[in-house]
A and B are shown apart, each in its own frame.
Chain A
Amino acid sequence: MKTSIIVDYNKCTEPLSCKKCMQICPGALFICYSPDYESNDPTEWRVDVAFTDLCTRCNDCVDVCPLDAITIK
């Protein structure tokens, strides 16, 4: 079954000051990036997931997110 992991950017606006999902994922699947790579504006950075097929659906990221921003389908 294909897994998709959706981060709600209306809720998660400053991932760099949180990073909880990135640090808890057993597979280190989250990636934090900015469309403009040297952007100093923290609100321009986003977390997204590469390699979604490696997600084990452990749900740790969903549980740890303080803003309920992550949905796994």
Chain B
Amino acid sequence: MCEFCFKHGAGKKWYLNSRNYLAETAQETGAHEYIFELWKQFEKVYLQKIYGISMKGPGYRFSMPLVGRAMKTYINSWFTKEKPLNGRNPRRGEGHPGQVVMLDDAKKILELASPILRVNCACRNMTRGIKDPCCIAFGALAETVPKLPRYIPDKGAEPMHVDEAQEFIEEMNTAGRIQTVWFGPMPYIAALCSCERPECAAATIRMEYGLNSLYKGEYIAKVDFSKCTGCKICASRCDFGALSFNDGMNVPFINAWQCFGCGLCSTACPENAIEMVDRNENPLLKDVW
């Protein structure tokens, strides 16, 4: 259980608490206005002085001793900002962190959210200029996107059935896409994404600059060497640099500190040799998000 679960999980994982999907919660957090501003200005958020620093080469600033660290702490506090409940600043991504989820949990999320709509991925649109309808928008986001033409898929914004959406994310997972779930703003849950690197902006700022825009998932991958046949299928599945295939021993090694718990290696393994274990059961890693 991460800090979000303690605060917003009602005893469960935060993204499995049905209250966080209610229209009432959207209302309380001003989700419609927040999301409209965020998605409208999506590109600007990355180019302008949004976190108090310029995103044109933030690494130079972060590498400055002391000042760099203070800046990081300051920026990270935006992502987890809880107050005011209604009125956080979308241009700073306040209260808008995401977390990596495994396919099984992602499917459970789809059972809780409604309506469900496929919309164009904002990151890919911004960085590659492509319209890829792979972001699954819920409630307030689903109701907001029709006002922003660049995110409406060519085929139109059609609501999806739960099983259709579950099938879709399964295809995405097979294709190597990482499932992530997003507050927008906390505790309201706005979207389930199917991301990949380097297009995903949140993953870039997490992986390259260590900013907590995207939290690690609730699980960690673990290889059962007795089941592994050394087929190497898992070798190309990890986008987080956690899995390396050891040719000498003919098995994959997983660096648990680096594992984001996306489960992509596990879903690809034909022998079921990679198990996803609860992060909380590992005393060293239970506070590493």
List A residues at the B interface (Cβ < 8 Å).
Answer: 2-3, 15-16, 19, 22-23, 26-34, 37-38, 48-54
| B59 lies within 8 A of A54 (CB) | yes
Tell me whether B210 is interfacial, beta carbon within 8 Å.
no
Q: Which residues of B contact A (CB under 8 A)?
A: 40-41, 43-44, 46-47, 55-60, 126-130, 148-150, 198-199, 204, 208
CB distance from A24 to the nearest CB of B (A): 10
B129: A residues at CB distance < 8 A: 15-16, 19, 22-23, 32
| CB of A3, distance to nearest CB on chain B (Å) | 7
A28 touches B56 (CB 8 A): no
Evaluate contact between B47 and A48: CB separation under 8 angstroms.
yes
The answer to whether A51 touches B127 (Cβ under 8 A) is no
Q: Name the 9 nearest CB pairs between A and B, nearest first.
A: A33-B43, A53-B59, A19-B129, A52-B57, A53-B57, A28-B127, A28-B198, A50-B55, A50-B46
Further contacts, 11 of them, CB under 8 A, given A50-B55, A51-B59 = A2-B60, A16-B129, A19-B128, A32-B127, A33-B126, A37-B44, A38-B149, A50-B47, A51-B204, A51-B208, A52-B57
Could you tell me the dominant secondary structure of chain B's interface residues? helix
A-B contact count (CB 8 A): 66
* Most B-side CB within 10 Å, residue of A15, A26, A49, A50: A50
Shortest C-beta distance, B197 to chain A (Å), equals: 8
Which B residues touch A29, using CB under 8 A? 127
Please tell me which one of the listed residues B41, B47, B58, B198 contacts residue A53 in the complex, with CB atoms under 8 A apart.
Answer: B58
Chain B residue numbers with a CB within 8 Å of A38 are 40, 148-150
- CB < 8 Å neighbour of B208 from A16, A33, A54: A54
Whether A53 contacts B46 by the Cβ 8 Å rule is no
Complex interface: chain A residues within 8 A of B46 (CB): 31, 50
Contact B40 A33 (CB under 8 A): no
Task: Determine if A27 and B198 form an interchain contact, defined as CB atoms under 8 angstroms apart.
Answer: yes
Could you say which residues of chain A place their CB within 8 Å of the CB of B204?
28, 51, 54
What residues of chain A lie closer than 8 Å to B41, measured between beta carbons? Answer: 37
- Cα(A21)–Cα(B126), bound, Å: 12
